[in-house]
Amino acid sequence: MLDMLAAIARKDYVDRRRRQAQGIQKAKAAGAYRGRPEDTERNAALMDMLKRGQTWASIVKATGVSTSTLSRLPRHPYVPSSALSAGIVTQRLPV
Residue range 3-46, pLDDT digits in tens: 999 999 999 999 999 999 999 999 989 988 878 888 888 988 99
Are 49 and 70 contained in the same domain? yes
Instruction: Please tell me whether residues 16 and 52 are part of one structural domain.
Output: no
In a domain, 95, yes or no: no
Dump pLDDT digits (tens) for 29-88: 998 887 888 888 898 899 889 889 999 999 999 999 999 988 888 766 555 555 555 555
SS3 helix, strand, coil % of the chain, rounded to 5?
Answer: 65, 0, 35
Residue 93 included in any domain: no
Q: Are residues 31 and 55 in the same domain?
A: no
- How many Å separate Cα 87 from the centre of its chain? 23
Are residues 30 and 9 part of one domain? Answer: yes
Contacts of 76 (CB under 8 A, 6+ apart): 43, 93
**77, 73, 86: which is closest to 42 by C-alpha?**
73
Residue 67 falls inside a structural domain: yes
pTM: 0.50
Structural domain for 57, as ranges: 40-85
Residue 50 lies in a domain: yes
Residues 62 and 30 in one domain: no
| Structural domain includes residue 90 | no
